[in-house]
Amino acid sequence: MSKLQVAASPRCVNAVFCPGGQRPPDYAFTHYGSRIAATKKPPKKKHCEKYESAKKVRVKADMKQNIKLLAVSLILAVNLWPASVLGAGPTYLSPAAMVAAPDGLRLYIACATAHQLAIFDVPGGKVTRRVALPEAPTGLALSADGARLYVTCAGAASRVCVVDTKAGKIMDTLAAGHTATAPVLSQDGRTLFVCNRFNNNVSVIDLGTKKEIRRVAVRREPAAAALTADGKFLLVANHLHNGPADADYVAAVVSVIDVAAGKVVKELQLPNGSGALQDIRVSPDGKYAVVTHILARFHLPTTQLERAG
């Protein structure tokens, strides 16, 4: 650099003076206002070779990384995807509902992914029988004598399978609505109530004629139901709120159906933010009903927003 003379003035930033009046081809010049910096260029051929070599190495590394990611994704897909889809038979049982026999010696378990009913022997501590079902079971209702089990099998046009518990076989099927769930028997055993989740209503089925008498409209996505102790009212837990999400009060409700009248006579409002109702049960003395749900907190007072700044 001592042999290279570089100078400039504020008026002429492009002035470059070199010995012999020739600009060295292997130098790069960078202007910084009134100053010019000169740096020696690396040999072009070698630079290109290094660049191309590094580029090839990077491409190969990226390809290897992508292949590894693809392999991991395939492994996860094979292991996590339902085995019934892959044609290897169901791996997961997915117990979705359970009811005990009147004598407490057997448990009937609805296995959603396996599309089956498992009969569990309590004293023996093992499953003694499995009953294949046409669709994924979502709910169970057992007759008072324990002879018949009503299993809701969910689908766009759901079916209720009537299982002979002694023989372990399906003896009949009843028609229901979209994604039927939460079957409930009347106290006299003559009527079956079924929640049709995506029809937003409840089917009332006469078990004598095996036909649907009526459908009672409720708020949104009935997911569970229970009879009061006197059998006069059916409490239906609506899974979601059916109004705007930005309203001052956002909560799902419990619909109260008058069994004799066949209509909703009242709605029980849950605390603000209540949603995703999953189940409802009535206490043995009939005084209380318990609902499982999420309680969200998504409203912030203005004072809290001001303090946040």
Determine the pLDDT at residue 65.
66
Q: Is 110 exposed, middle or buried (0-12, 13-18, 19+ CB in 10 A)?
A: buried
* Sequence-ordered list of residues with C-beta below 8 angstroms from that of 20, at least 6 positions apart, any chain: none
Determine the pLDDT at residue 61.
64
CA-wise closest residue to 271 among 242, 291, 257: 291
* Superfamily classification of domain 93-217: YVTN repeat-like/Quinoprotein amine dehydrogenase (2.130.10.10)
β partners of residue 231: none
Q: Are the beta carbons of 107 and 99 closer than 8 angstroms?
A: yes
Determine the pLDDT at residue 306.
57
Determine the pLDDT at residue 72.
52
Determine the pLDDT at residue 27.
53
pLDDT average per 10 residues of sequence, the chain (309 residues): 40 42 50 51 52 59 64 50 51 90 95 95 93 97 97 97 96 97 97 98 97 97 97 97 88 97 96 94 94 84 57
In a 3-state reduction of DSSP, which class is residue 5? Answer: coil
**Could you tell me the two tokens for 160?**
């209720």
Determine the pLDDT at residue 224.
98
CA-wise closest residue to 281 among 251, 237, 230, 219: 237
Determine the pLDDT at residue 88.
55
Determine the pLDDT at residue 48.
52
